[in-house]
């Protein structure tokens, strides 16, 4: 069975990590910065060397194309992003792009031409660190954000996306049809590492419900107010948050509950908090369950507030439905990993990815590989060369299946494939 | 039995409230500001009119003196402060000073000369709103803060106490001996109002223990980290804070527990909190109990952290032992309020007052009157004229008892005393 060259993939990852390298071993290539353009230029050089053509669309998404036997056929697309967090790692996004490149190089080595054209997409501003929202390039491509709105978005210095593109936008149409989209990515979580598995077959993205909670009691002097006369908003909020932890268990193992921000307006060490604001982040792979989680949250918080004679106001800040990936694309990944004999499990994506937008545009799926300690968005982000190689092998197999390539012979052991 | 003129007291309170009046009906006389000096000047005028002499000490504490039959005897001192919070009320501090003035005026009306001299003290910078710490003038007088240190303290604009005194400091010695010190004050809490009582006989100040708590878990991505692999510092802190509420009940009704500040460093809506800092304010009238409360707090927090595989660091930020007031001074207050027939209860002071410093310098006690809704440090701070009058009556009775005045006839009803 055809596999990639793991050492070449690793070398390219390390070469790309020299662009915008930080002192602590990470990367800083903010979207559409000089470092980001330098990274794209290095990638473009490699694509040209691999015989690919390059073009961009109006939001600066970069596409490298390898011709297929049927030029008019919709392409099978691999990809991710090359921009990073300000103190980002070497693999988030970059891996998906360079795994795509390694797939093309490996096909070149093997002399294989697929039926459909292949493309590698580099999506603009995935991180959202410079321009908000994140995943802007894929959102614009998929019609989620209108182009004019996207171009007008400004960074903290007042520089617009249009200005930052600096003539690097091209004429490839937005919303072109793809036969399939595959994105390989580090997991950015601890599940695969904990399970000792090199591959996650990603079946979709979670539903997310963000709530803003305001608990209102009565401020009071910490020294002069008897406990029985207090309406302490923090004691109430603490009970609420403890109940939310229980709620996560009730919806386990797939339900996730996080209270990431908590603020006491006008907080003072010797004042009983009169108000507390906190956020709730609810996640579940199933829409029916996320709705049940939101309803339970609202009921529990209202009950606890009423018991204490306090009030609670709960606003939905944002809701994103679950994103199931395409059955055939998932099957292609599953068949590839099974044929390769690599240990794996099915899982949902906990983080946002360009593939979440693409999934509403064309058949899509993702492949996860472990990252060390589940760490990402961090200069210490790390991944093992063998895991990265196996992920690219699976990408190659899935792409070949969807693009109409060669018959793939099986190999006896996944450990000997570099 | 001799009583004060409640209407005159109220009129003086309202006249003083014109000095540094705020649009919302409160007062702004920051310590040693032009408004504070204007308030002192108005008070000095009234004292001169009442036949008193005035002088200041090196930290600007202002003393008005009424001669006694025994000029060399240590004086009986009444007092409080005239400075306010930036958005303060009309009664906090001012009441104790003007109740003292009303006592003197009433003695003048009755033609009574006491054995001991009487003084009214206006302590500098009680609020601590301009210069930290609070109660600076009484602390310096009592030797708790060295004079040179006190004079060097700067406000937020870099103006020192020495500069702000602007030549208004005088030569009265710090630490002069007093026969007794009585401070009348609004309660700044809801106890008397809730109980429907006009007078609180204050037996001392609470012990206070301030702790700084740091809970350390592990930050994680809210979407990619299964609940079972999280070490969420906020879920842990919420459980701890709920347990602290239980601890307050266990030390009730006199034990008080407040968590006034809580901070999640680097908080983000979709990040599992890796660290949480919070403060703990423990109070109890008895030193043995405050120590037990601190020990229980430490034990409970350590246990809860250990159960979750997190760590907790607990630092004592400040400790102030309980301040019992003088037995004879308390008895003088108790006898006065009983003789007057005013409903009352004994209580401890929950807030800090100049009397807390004075109690370590000379025999001291306090008299509380209710404030509306227990509200203080607020422009809406309010008190009822009848309550203020009754408090001044009690002050008069207690001062006469300690200063060696007239025999006091009893009256039949406290309701007819204005």
Q: Is A127 annotated as a binding residue?
A: yes
Is residue B1 included in any domain, yes or no?
A: no
Is residue A270 included in any domain, yes or no?
A: yes
The answer to whether the beta carbons of residues B347 and B202 sit under 8 Å apart is yes
Q: Is B185 annotated as a binding residue?
A: yes
Over residues B67-120, the pLDDT tens digits come to 999 999 999 999 999 999 999 999 999 999 999 999 999 999 999 999 999 999
Return d(Cα A4, Cα A98) in angstroms, integer.
Answer: 12
The answer to whether the Cβ–Cβ distance between A253 and B228 falls below 8 Å is: yes
For residue A415, the model assigns a pLDDT of 39
CATH number of the domain within which A78 lies: 3.40.630.10
| Average pLDDT rounded to a whole number, residues A4-19 | 98
Task: Count how many domains chain A has.
Answer: 2
DSSP A216: E
The answer to whether the beta carbons of residues A130 and A18 sit under 8 Å apart is no
A198 shares its domain with A247: no
Residue B414 binned pLDDT confidence (cut-offs 50, 70, 90): very low
A216 shares its domain with A363: no
Could you say which of A261, A291, A320 is where a domain stops? A320
A122 shares its domain with A12: yes
B245 to chain A, closest Cα gap in Å: 7
Q: Which of A135, A270, A369 has the highest number of chain B CBs within 10 A, making it the mutation to test binding with B? A: A270
Over residues B225-257, the pLDDT tens digits come to 999 999 999 999 999 999 999 999 999 999 999
**Could you identify the residue written with the tokens 């054209």?**
A117
Count of CB atoms situated within 10 Å of the CB of A235: 28
- Chain B positions touching A352 (Cβ under 8 A) are 223
Nearest CA in chain B to A251: B227
- Chain B positions touching A191 (Cβ under 8 A) are 224, 226, 229
For residue A377, the model assigns a pLDDT of 87
Select the residue of B239, B268, B374 nearest A225 (Cβ to Cβ). B374
Select the residue of B234, B270, B281 nearest A270 (Cβ to Cβ). B281
The answer to whether the Cβ–Cβ distance between A261 and B248 falls below 8 Å is: no
Over residues B297-354, the pLDDT tens digits come to 999 999 999 999 999 999 999 999 999 999 999 999 999 999 999 999 999 999 999 9
Cis ω on the peptide bond leading into residue A133 (within 30° of 0)? yes
B249 shares its domain with B270: yes
Could you say which of B320, B337, B369 is where a domain stops? B320
A307 shares its domain with A382: no
Complex ipTM value? 0.86
CB under 8 Å to B162, separation ≥6 — which residues? B151, B152
Over residues A103-128, the pLDDT tens digits come to 999 999 999 999 999 999 999 999 99
Residue among A116, A115, A101 at smallest CA distance from A4: A101
A336 shares its domain with A274: no
Is residue B266 included in any domain, yes or no?
A: yes
For residue A72, the model assigns a pLDDT of 93
Could you say which of B258, B290, B320 is where a domain stops? B320
Is residue A149 included in any domain, yes or no?
A: yes
Strand A76-80 to A118-122 pairing: parallel
Over residues A161-209, the pLDDT tens digits come to 999 999 999 999 999 999 999 999 999 999 999 999 999 999 999 999 9
Nearest CA in chain B to A234: B259
B174 shares its domain with B211: no
A329 shares its domain with A311: no
For residue B415, the model assigns a pLDDT of 39
Strand A207-216 to A311-320 pairing: antiparallel
Q: Could you give the percent of chain B with pLDDT greater than 90?
A: 92
Count of CB atoms situated within 10 Å of the CB of B21: 16
- Coil, helix or strand for B23? coil
Over residues A80-100, the pLDDT tens digits come to 999 999 999 999 999 999 999
Select the residue of A242, A352, A374 nearest B225 (Cβ to Cβ). A374
- Chain B positions touching A208 (Cβ under 8 A) are 223
**Stated length of chain A:** 418
The answer to whether the beta carbons of residues A5 and A13 sit under 8 Å apart is no
Over residues A321-344, the pLDDT tens digits come to 999 999 999 999 999 999 999 999
B344 shares its domain with B295: no
For residue A411, the model assigns a pLDDT of 41
Residue B1 binned pLDDT confidence (cut-offs 50, 70, 90): confident
User: In chain A, how many H helices and how many E strands?
Assistant: 12, 16
Select the residue of B187, B261, B283 nearest A264 (Cβ to Cβ). B261
Strand A275-284 to A118-122 pairing: unpaired
Residue among A374, A378, A375 at smallest CA distance from A87: A378
Residue B406 binned pLDDT confidence (cut-offs 50, 70, 90): low
Residue A405 binned pLDDT confidence (cut-offs 50, 70, 90): low
**Is the predicted pLDDT of residue B166 greater than 50, yes or no?**
yes
CB under 8 Å to A156, separation ≥6 — which residues? A130
B121 shares its domain with B158: yes
- Coil, helix or strand for A5? coil
Q: Is A55 annotated as a binding residue?
A: no
Q: Is B127 annotated as a binding residue?
A: yes
Is residue B126 included in any domain, yes or no?
A: yes
Is residue A1 included in any domain, yes or no?
A: no
For residue A1, the model assigns a pLDDT of 87
B265 shares its domain with B175: no
CATH number of the domain within which A268 lies: 3.30.70.360
Select the residue of A242, A245, A262 nearest B264 (Cβ to Cβ). A262
- Burial status of residue B51 (CB atoms within 10 A of its CB: 0-12, 13-18, 19 or more): exposed
**Could you identify the residue written with the tokens 């020299």?**
A18
**Is the predicted pLDDT of residue A18 greater than 70, yes or no?**
yes
Q: What is the mean pLDDT of chain A?
A: 95
In this structure, what is the dihedral angle of CA atoms B45, B48, B50, B51, given to the nearest 10 degrees? Answer: 180
Residue among A40, A47, A45, A39 at smallest CA distance from A21: A39
The answer to whether the beta carbons of residues B175 and B143 sit under 8 Å apart is yes
Q: Is B92 annotated as a binding residue?
A: yes
Nearest CA in chain A to B237: A238
**DSSP conformation letters of A339-393:** HHT--EEEEEE-S--HHHHHTTTS-EEEEEE--GGG--SSTT----HHHHHHHHH
Residue contacts between A and B (CB atoms, under 8 Å)? 199
Is residue A256 included in any domain, yes or no?
A: yes
The answer to whether the beta carbons of residues B172 and A208 sit under 8 Å apart is no
Over residues A47-86, the pLDDT tens digits come to 999 999 999 999 999 999 999 999 999 999 999 999 999 9
**Is the predicted pLDDT of residue B11 greater than 50, yes or no?**
yes
Is residue B72 included in any domain, yes or no?
A: yes
Return d(Cα A351, Cα B399) in angstroms, integer.
Answer: 72
Residue B208 binned pLDDT confidence (cut-offs 50, 70, 90): very high
Distances (CA, A) of B350 to B185, B202, B329: 12, 10, 19
For residue B405, the model assigns a pLDDT of 64
Instruction: Tell me the two tokens of residue B14.
Output: 């309202």
Over residues B384-397, the pLDDT tens digits come to 999 999 999 999 99
Over residues A264-308, the pLDDT tens digits come to 998 989 899 999 999 999 999 999 999 999 999 999 999 999 999
Instruction: Tell me the two tokens of residue B316.
Output: 């004592």
Nearest CA in chain B to A268: B260
Full domain range(s) for residue B24: 6-205+323-416
B55 to chain A, closest Cα gap in Å: 34
- Chain A positions touching B135 (Cβ under 8 A) are none
Select the residue of A227, A260, A283 nearest B252 (Cβ to Cβ). A227
For residue A406, the model assigns a pLDDT of 56
A94 shares its domain with A135: yes
Q: Which of B241, B249, B258 has the highest number of chain A CBs within 10 A, making it the mutation to test binding with A? A: B258
- Chain B positions touching A273 (Cβ under 8 A) are 259-260
Residue B409 binned pLDDT confidence (cut-offs 50, 70, 90): very low
**Is the predicted pLDDT of residue A402 greater than 90, yes or no?**
yes
């Amino acid at each position: 069975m055809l596999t990639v060259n793991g050492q070449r993939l690793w070398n390219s990852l390390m070469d790309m990590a020299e662009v915008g390298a930080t002192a602590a071993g990470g990367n800083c290539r903010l979207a559409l910065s000089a470092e980001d353009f330098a990274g794209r230029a290095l990638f473009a050089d490699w694509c040209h060397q691999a015989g690919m053509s390059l073009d961009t669309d109006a939001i600066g998404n970069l596409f490298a194309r390898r011709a297929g036997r049927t030029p008019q056929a919709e392409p099978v697309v691999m990809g991710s992003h090359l921009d990073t967090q300000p103190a980002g790692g070497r693999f988030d996004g970059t891996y998906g792009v360079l795994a795509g490149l390694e797939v093309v190089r490996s096909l070149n080595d093997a002399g294989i031409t697929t039926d459909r054209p292949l493309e590698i997409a580099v999506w603009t501003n995935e991180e959202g660190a410079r321009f908000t929202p994140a995943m802007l390039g894929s959102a614009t491509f998929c019609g989620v954000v209108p182009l004019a709105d996207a171009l007008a978005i400004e960074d903290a210095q007042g520089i617009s996306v249009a200005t930052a593109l600096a003539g690097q936008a091209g004429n490839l149409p937005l919303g072109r049809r793809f036969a399939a989209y595959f994105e390989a990515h580090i997991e950015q979580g601890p599940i695969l590492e904990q399970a000792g598995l090199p591959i996650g077959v990603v079946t979709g993205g979670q539903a997310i419900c963000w709530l803003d909670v305001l608990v209102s009691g009565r401020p009071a002097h910490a020294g002069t107010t008897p406990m029985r006369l207090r309406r302490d908003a923090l004691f109430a909020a603490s009970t609420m948050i403890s109940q939310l932890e229980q709620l996560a268990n009730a919806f386990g193992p797939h339900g996730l509950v996080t209270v990431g921000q908590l603020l006491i307006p006008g907080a003072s060490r010797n004042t009983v908090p009169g108000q507390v604001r906190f956020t709730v982040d609810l996640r579940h792979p199933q829409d029916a369950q996320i709705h049940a989680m939101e309803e339970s949250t609202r009921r529990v918080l209202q009950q606890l507030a009423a018991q204490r004679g306090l009030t609670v106001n709960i606003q939905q800040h944002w809701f994103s439905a679950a994103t199931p990936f395409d059955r055939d694309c998932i099957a292609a990944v599953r068949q590839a990993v099974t044929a390769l004999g690599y240990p794996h499990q099915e899982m949902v994506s906990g983080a946002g990815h360009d593939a979440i937008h693409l999934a509403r545009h064309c058949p899509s799926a993702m492949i996860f590989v472990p990252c060390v300690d589940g760490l990402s968005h961090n200069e210490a982000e790390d991944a093992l060369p063998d895991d990265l190689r196996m992920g690219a092998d699976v990408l190659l197999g899935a792409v070949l299946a969807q693009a109409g390539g060669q018959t793939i012979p099986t190999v006896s052991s996944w450990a000997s494939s570099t």
